[in-house]
Structure 1
């Protein structure tokens, strides 16, 4: 499928551009140990990520805590998790194959690029800088940048308004059903990636407009240059 009207592309971060689970797992286990609970596996964390840091911690505590985790307790431990993740932010995360080269090519071709992630903004920008990706993006939206995060369409609607785009001009690229549902609710097209974090589900089940197994395959779907349409 060719997205011939697209002039701007929004990318998810975790599981799409960067494999951040090793560092998220390290931070989660540091918190669990501090609280006196058993640790979790990296595979556990891969199945828990996608809905923001708070939901990740809630899922970890639900799985490992010996008592019921209520909202007040969760709010008490969140600052400690954030400290652990700040320390582990760039220790073991890695860029997926082809990401840097493809983003640079899209930028050079004239596409406007954005990051739309559920990761807290305070971690998103340093992580992009660590992999020298920050200069490629015109807009970066974290999970706490607006009042709502994916799967709510608010971040994508914000981009449409900010850039004064029609829905046909914006494309979402992500690895999770949260990305697919947000894009559908915003009325824009979406590419689903098979290699990221999607709770163990086949990304095609969420009905993206196209599915890619490798990040580099995105180029085949947006082979035009935006300025050719002007």
Structure 2
């Protein structure tokens, strides 16, 4: 492997709960409608700006967008970066891997979270949901990464916590692996079958080592 592509929410950071809460607040304050967590989860995938502009039916969609980001900023101090994930990313880059983030988050939300978590510069490249025409599981974001790094499909892996992540990898023809390694966060059960499931950053590093050194051990 040469290129590792990570999802963000639920994969590199436990930001999904504050995303859901921010959607709920925006819909309630601007549209006057209460959404359950399950209802919010069912519409996740596209960037938050697109979701709010699509589902705000009574109020001003742009006001809903601003309400979302105000709430997101107010809740973000509850989220901290996982030291094990930061150490893993640093070690992988030092070992020569190219690292990317491919997320459905809009650029505004992604950049805010990276700044707040002191994660700016921890990967080589990022692409946000509002920088592609089609959301995961469409492979567009993966194809863009392959073009950016000029790596082959055989040298590329996607890692994420949802069917959309696994589907994007499978649709692109690359290795697609699931992660369930954030303390206190349990991803929704997958319906797709990943190539591997990693329950800690150390498991991923060991798996990559074994791929490069199959005769060791």
TM-score, L = length of structure 1: 0.77
Structure 1 pair 85/58, CA: closer, same or farther in 2 (3 Å)? closer
Name the CA shift for 1:42/1:214 in 2 (closer, same or farther; >3 Å): farther
Q: Which residue in the other structure is 1:84 paired with?
A: 67
Runs of 4+ in 1 over 4 A off after TM superposition: 40-48, 54-59, 195-198
* Residue 169 of structure 2 is aligned to residue 183 of structure 1: yes
Q: Out of 2, 5, 27, which is 2:22 matched to? A: 27
1:65 maps to: none
Structure 1 residue 166: Cα displacement = 0.7
Contact 1:12 1:116 in 2 (8 A): yes
2:145 match? 159
Structure 1 residues 104 and 79: alpha-carbon distance in aligned structure 2, compared to 1, 3 A threshold = same
> What is the CA deviation profile of residues 130-174 of structure 1, one whole-angstrom value per residue up to 9, with x for unaligned ones?
212221211110001122221110110111111111101111000
- 1:49–1:197 contact (8 Å) kept in structure 2: no
Match of 2:9 among 14, 26, 42: 14
Which residue in the other structure is 2:215 paired with?
none
Retained in 1: the 8 A contact 2:134–2:140? Answer: yes
1:79-228 to 2 correspondences below 5 Å: 79-87=62-70, 88-89=72-73, 90-96=76-82, 98-194=84-180, 200=188, 202-203=189-190, 205-223=191-209
Gaps of 5+ in 1: 1-5, 62-68
- Partners of 1:177 and 1:197 lie apart in 2 by 14
User: Relative to structure 2, which stretch is displaced further, 34-43 or 182-191?
Assistant: 34-43
- Cα distance, 1:148–1:47 mapped onto 2, change above 3 Å: closer
User: CA contact under 8 A between 2:103 and 2:128: conserved in structure 1?
Assistant: yes
Distance 1:39 1:92, change over 3 A: farther
CA deviation digits over 1:108-147, x for unaligned, max 9? 1111110000000111122112212221211110001122
